[in-house]
Amino acid sequence: MRTETRMETTDTVAQALRNNLRASWGRAYVRVIGVNRELSWLFLDIVMPLFSIAAYVLLYRSMNAPREYDGFVILGALMTAYWLNVLWAMAAQFYWEREMGHLELYMMAPISPMAILFGMSFGGIFQTTVRAAATVTMGALIFGVHFSIANPLAVLGIFFLTLVALYGLGMTAASLYLVYGRDAQNLSNLLQEPVFLLSGVNFPVKALGFWTAATACFIPMTLGMDALRQLVFDDKTTGFMPVGWEVLGLVVTGAVTLIGAYKALKYLEDLAKRQGRLTLKWQ
């Protein structure tokens, strides 16, 4: 063996950023390219939500609801797609990554685990957007939904903010699921219908009454959808809060969840190292 001075390798901020972005892209690649190879999945992912759109739209029609409500259903289906992606491909995914032994590989690599979560988010958003765009377009065409968008930039901006807050929440949940340690599947299952109900996926959230709706604002989807309903459809009476307040709410939620994700990840990492729980497999 030889004697050698320690080589100190301190990355510059730019280097560190580049390395982490590389890692994010590596992880996102699976969702941007890989997952889309399964054409039958793609088909099902587009068609399944169309069923629920059809069911809810036809139900509204059978009850002679105003025509904007068809549009609410479509908007709801769009957000539902992202929510399901957050639940299963973000929150529960980390749990499965551990079972596959990936989590260990991520924690061992010279990058921030946040980079992996960012990659998963970016990939998930891409993956879902492709599918949801197809679903929404088809749904809107089939049921002749009319959108009246006066300010497309505001709509896009709010949509983007909603996604940031949603995936921030997904990133936080990914770590919390692991800390909680229960079967991820149960949790994600629990957070489906109740959240659709509370966030007002098919109807103006106002209908739930003030206090319930206010509580539901903790789910980023609620604020995003309420704001979009006000901006995308003619009926101006449906809003729960002025759009400006909702934008502020989304910004705050986005910031809180991103910081929360960072903290939760740190906590998880520390806990895992203390308890030796990064893998479930016995080796």
179 in Cβ contact with 278 (< 8 Å): no
Q: Is 215 in the site for another protein (CB under 8 A)?
A: no
With b for 16 or more beta-carbon neighbours within 10 A and e for fewer, the 87-107 pattern comes to bbbbbbbbbebbeeebbeebb
Q: Which is nearer to another protein, 163 or 201 (CB)?
A: 201
The partner in contact with residue 96, picked from ligand ATP, another protein, Mg ion, none with C-beta cut-offs of 5 to 8 angstroms by kind, is another protein
Residues 170 and 93 sit within 8 Å (Cβ to Cβ): no
Name which of 206 and 277 has its Cβ closer to ligand ATP: 277
194 binds ligand ATP (CB under 6 A): no
Q: Any idea what the Cα angle at residue 168 is, between residues 245 and 30, rounded to 5°? A: 140
C-alpha to C-alpha distance for 89 and 84, rounded to whole angstroms:
8
Which residue among 42, 54, 138, 256 contacts another protein (CB under 8 A)? 54
- Which positions from 244 through 283 interact with Mg ion, judged by CB under 5 A? 283
Q: What whole-number distance in Å separates Cα of residue 94 and Cα of residue 173?
A: 9
Q: How many residues sit in the footprint of another protein (CB under 8 A)?
A: 80
Residue nearer to ligand ATP on the CB measure, 54 or 271: 271
User: Interface residues for another protein in 218-257 (CB under 8 A)?
Assistant: none
DSSP string, 49-86: HHHHHHHHHHHHHHTT--THHHHHHHHHHHHHHHHHII
Contact between residue 121 and residue 167 where contact means Cβ atoms under 8 Å apart? yes
If we measure between CA atoms, which residue out of 139, 22, 160 comes closest to residue 75?
A: 139
Residue 196 site contact among Mg ion, ligand ATP, another protein, none (CB < 5 to 8 Å, cut-off depends on kind): another protein
| In contact, 63 and 145? CB cutoff 8 Å | no
Q: Is 9 in the site for Mg ion (CB under 5 A)?
A: no
Instruction: Determine, following the binding rule CB under 6 A, whether residue 283 of this chain makes contact with ligand ATP.
Output: yes
CB of 115 to another protein, least distance (A): 8
Using CB under 6 A, which residues numbered 218 to 277 contact ligand ATP?
A: 276-277
Q: Residue 12: which of ligand ATP, Mg ion, another protein, none does it interact with, CB under 5 to 8 A by kind?
A: none
Cβ closest to another protein, residue 61 vs residue 263: 61
Nearest-approach distance from CB 99 to Mg ion, in angstroms: 17
Q: Which span (44-52, 82-90, 157-165, 245-253) binds another protein, by CB under 8 A?
A: 44-52
Spatial separation of the C-alpha atoms in residues 166 and 169, rounded to whole Å:
5
From CA 23, how far away is CA 114, in angstroms rounded?
A: 10
Q: Which is nearer to Mg ion, 273 or 281 (CB)?
A: 281
260-279: contacts with another protein (CB under 8 A):
272-276, 278
Cα separation values, 211 from 16, 64, 85, 169, 208, Å: 45, 28, 28, 22, 8
Q: Give helix then strand counts, H and E, for the chain.
A: 12, 0
Q: Which residues inside 101-140 make contact with another protein, applying CB under 8 A?
A: 101-102, 104-111
183 binds another protein (CB under 8 A): yes
> Does the footprint of Mg ion cover residue 237 (CB under 5 A)?
no
184 close to 177: Cβ distance less than 8 angstroms: yes
Residues at the site binding ligand ATP, with contacts judged by CB under 6 A: 276-277, 283
Residues at the site binding Mg ion, with contacts judged by CB under 5 A: 283
